[in-house]
Amino acid sequence: MSTLINDSEMLWHNDGHKLFLQINKSELEIIDVYCPNTAGGECRHERYGCVVEFFVTRFGLDCNVGVCPAKESLTICWSLVGDKYDVEAAQLWFVPLEDDMFHAWLITKTNQDKEDLDIRGLD
């Protein structure tokens, strides 16, 4: 199930992408990226495949804007800033769902979006 959270600046996707991590000495390494949208979805690009996997493979944890304890797998929300069709000129950011501040914002924003939809549905 894909959830879109519309911020005034970014559109966040909560669609089940996961990062698989391992600790190598003092370094945290991404060993795999799981994309749930193999047949299509907001993350799919005809040339690069999954844009989340493309950016995370290329830039690693530099795309992370969240904080949480390291563990073997992290479910993430992601946002692409820029044109999806010009991936080389865009930037992808991700936040682990386990990030306490983001999770609290996500719940508040999701509830607010539902209320906005309910109100618009009554008009």
Domain boundaries, the chain: 3-122
What's the rounded Cα separation, in Å, for the pair 89 and 83? 7
What's the pLDDT at 122? 41
What's the pLDDT at 60? 93
Residue bearing the bigger pLDDT, 110 or 53:
53
Confidence of residue 121 (pLDDT cuts 50, 70, 90): very low
Cα separations in angstroms, 56 against 29, 61, 95:
11, 7, 12
CB 42 within 8 A of CB 70: no
Residue bearing the bigger pLDDT, 3 or 77:
77
Mean pLDDT in residue range 70-76? 91
Residue 56 C-alpha from the chain's centroid: 11
DSSP 8-state assignment for residue 37? -
pTM, full prediction: 0.79
Total residues found in the chain within this entry: 123
Confidence of residue 78 (pLDDT cuts 50, 70, 90): very high
Name the token pair of 89: 């000129």
